[in-house]
Structure formats: C-alpha cells, structure tokens
Amino acid sequence: MTAASSRFQRLLLPGFAFKAAVIGGGYATGRELAEYFIPSGPQGGAMAIGVAMLCWSALCAITFALAHATRSFDYHSFFRMLLGPFAFVFELAYVVFMVLILAVFGAAAGAIGQAVLGWPPLAGTLLLVLGIGLFTAFGNRSVEHLFKWVSFFLYGTYVVFVVLVLASFGDRAMAWFATPVPRDGWLSGGLTYAGYNIVGAVMILPLARHFTSRRDAVVAGVLAGPLAMLPGLLFFVCMVAWYPHIGDEALPSDFILRQLDMPLFHLLFQAMIFSALLECGVAAVHAANERIAASWRAHRALELTNTGRLAIAAMLLVGSIFIAGHFGLVALIASGYRALAWLFLAVYVLPLLTVGLWRLRRGGPLVMAPSSEPS
C-alpha cells in the first residue's frame, strides 16, 4: 500500500488500467465488437456488452479484494495463493495469451504505420516495441502515468467519434435498434468476450498496493467494468448504422471513418488506436516484469533495475511479436482467444469464485502471501 495514494489512484486508476489491459487492437478497431456482438444483432449485441460489463465488474471486485487481503501484488503471488502448486498452469496460459496479443498488436501497429505514414510494416511494429520497452523500463510510476493520460485521450477521441457518426448516421443506427432481429448467441458472446479478457484484472495487480481497505478494492472493481466497456458500447452503437455487413469488415473503425470522410480526424483516430495498442502491450509486459521483479526481490533481496526491466521487456517483445508472426499465430487469433477463454475459466474464474470467495468470507486472518509490493 502506498501511504500517499489519492482517491483517483484507489478508485479510478484500476479501472483505467483494466481498460488498458483489455482494449487492445481488436476492441479499439471494432474487430472484436464485430466478432462477438454484431452477430447477435443490435439489441442482442447491446445485451452481450452488458453481460461482459457485469462479469468484469464482479470478477474485478473479487480479484481486487482478494489481492488486497493477501497482499498479492503480482499474478505469481496471487495464483500461488489461489492455486497452490498448480499456479504454474496459469503462468503457462499467460505466456500463450501474451504471445497472441503482442503478435496481434505488432501486426496492427505495422498496418497503422503503413496506412497513415507510408512506412514499411516493420517500422510501425518497431515503434510499438520501443514504446512498450521504454514505459515498462521505469516501473509502476511510468506505467500509471501512461494509463492515466492515454485514458483521457482515448475517451475524448471516442466521444468526438460518436458525436460525428451519430450526427451524420444516427437515424440509421436508431432505425436498426427499433427493428426486431434475431438475438441468438448474445449470452455466449458476452461470456466468451468477458472470459478471455478478464485476465486483465490480474495483469494490473501492482495497482492493488494503492487500496487502503476492502471497500476501496470492491468499489474500484465495480467501476472497472463500466470504465472498460463504455467506449465499446458507444462504438457498437455507431457500428449498428451499417448493420449487418459491418460485421464482415476487417477494420470496422476504418470503414466508418471512410464514411465520415474527415482526413484529419481519421489520423487522430489512428493515433488513438496506436495509443491503445501501446497501453495494452505495456499492461501485459509490465505484469510479467512485476512477476519477475517479485521473484528477484524474494530470492536475492534486490530490486530489479530499470536496465533489467528493459532487457526483460525486449526479450518478451521480440519473442512474442516476431517469432509468433513467423509461425503464423496471428492467423489463429479467433480460435486462440476462444480456447484461452475456456482455459482462464478453468484456472482463474472457477478457483476465484470458489476458493477465493471462501477465503474472503470465512473471516479471521487470511494466510498472507509474501509481500511483493513493487517499488
């Protein structure tokens, strides 16, 4: 716990960080919204978004409360407490998850650089790698500042986007919302999307050190769902104006921006997407850094240096983005994410809702994990 933690750090920053961990390339471009929500129709898609938001709020609240109670400020400490000797299963799942998302982020950053500035794809990928490496090298303070300021930029850009789209095409979107269409699969779509993204809650556990009470943890968790999903809901409402064929667009955001025909705002939106890739990549790599830093602290009684953090980030990024891209893992993203949803359900959600809730409810002192509070 940090003595000088502000209300913003205790209640809102975790939600901003969780948003950073889940928004990524697919959410920011609308591709994940098209994959999981558009097939259920306008009304069903909105219901699926509500399901995902409620799941995130509930699971974040329990996760944050348990992390605060056991002082588990990195995912290794958290799962050692939750799964005991089987904690390594989550570690393996997280490595697969990180390889997949960083591979996708690298490809998306390369595409943005090529489309906006005419760069070769490798240039945009390298710029993203450099940004992730620099922000993660300086630890928690640098990462928290990134989450804060990118969040303001992202929410502001989405608000302008929604105003522009609805001003020009809002009548089409409202007409589709008023038209009864099949809502098949809305529950499974919402649960699947929530399932593979909920890992973001344990990616941001270093922020649990700001909580001063269980109430802080629960309130921050409840707010995390709406903070993370509100931009997605607004984006989905805009996408409905071109229902149903918007679901076939590889980059729904780019399709909509072309309909607006505002080149300067198109550039601003692409910059926002790159920022979203950056903060999500930073969240993933920083979580791994903090896990290694906790082990380094426990076994050597030393703090991991900035140079060490940068070296770890570089190895993770090179291994994930370039090796994964070489072996074609990006092409497996849809099936890979669905498989990860089931895996995280087994090794995270089910233990959390059984062992985790039992530990929180039983009363008395909890068995505390060795402190891994980041510096």
- Residue spans of the domains in the chain: they are 7-357
Identify whether the C-beta of residue 62 lies closer than 8 Å to the C-beta of residue 352. yes
pLDDT 10s digits, 276-297: 999 999 999 999 999 998 888 8
SS3 213: coil
Identify whether the C-beta of residue 374 lies closer than 8 Å to the C-beta of residue 227. no
pLDDT value for 375? 39
Cα–Cα nearest to 143, from 33, 293, 296, 347: 293
pLDDT value for 336? 67
Topology of domain 7-357 in CATH is Hydantoin permease (1.10.4160)
pLDDT 10s digits, 231-253: 999 999 999 999 999 999 878 99
pLDDT value for 261? 94
DSSP 34-54: HHHTGGGHHHHHHHHHHHHHH
DSSP 328-374: TGGGGHHHHHHHHHHHHIIIIIHHIIIIIHHHHHS-S---PPPP---
pLDDT value for 25? 64
pLDDT 10s digits, 309-322: 989 888 888 887 77
Residue with tokens 């960080």: 17
pLDDT value for 36? 92
pLDDT value for 243? 97
CA distance 236 to 221: 23
pLDDT value for 108? 81
Identify whether the C-beta of residue 44 lies closer than 8 Å to the C-beta of residue 185. yes
DSSP 221-260: HHHHHHHHHHHHHHHHHHHGGGTTGGGG-S-HHHHHHHHH
- The low-confidence residues of the chain, meaning pLDDT below 50, are 1-2, 329, 364-365, 367-375
pLDDT value for 355? 94
CA distance 261 to 263: 6
